Amino acid sequence: MIKRVLMIVVGSFALMACGPGAKIDGKQGAAEALLAASQPSKAKADKAATPADLSGAINWNCPQGGSAEIKGASVSIGTGGVSAGVTMNFAGCGIAKSDVGVAIYNGDMNLAQNIATGTSTLSVSQTLKGKITVVGAYDDFLDADIEQVVKVGDLGSTGTGVAMHLKGTIKTSEGTFTFDEDLTVMSGTISAKVQTNRM
Beta bridge mates, 88:
70, 109
Residue 3 is assigned to a structural domain of this protein:
no
pTM of the complete model: 0.80
- DSSP for 167-185 reads EEEEEETTEEEEEEEEEEE
Per-residue model confidence (pLDDT) at position 51: 43
Kindly give, in sequence order, each residue whose CB lies less than 8 Å from that of residue 83, ignoring residues fewer than 6 positions away: 75, 76, 77, 112, 113, 114, 115
Distance between CA atoms of residues 22 and 194, nearest Å: 4
Residue 15 is assigned to a structural domain of this protein:
no
Kindly give, in sequence order, each residue whose CB lies less than 8 Å from that of residue 91, ignoring residues fewer than 6 positions away: 66, 67, 68, 69, 106
Residue 167 is assigned to a structural domain of this protein:
yes
Per-residue model confidence (pLDDT) at position 189: 93
Per-residue model confidence (pLDDT) at position 113: 84
pLDDT along the chain (199 residues), means of 10: 41 42 96 94 58 62 92 62 82 94 97 73 87 98 96 78 96 98 94 74
Residue 169 is assigned to a structural domain of this protein:
yes
Per-residue model confidence (pLDDT) at position 31: 97
Number of domains in the chain: 1
Per-residue model confidence (pLDDT) at position 54: 47
Residue 153 is assigned to a structural domain of this protein:
yes
Domain that holds residue 40: 20-193
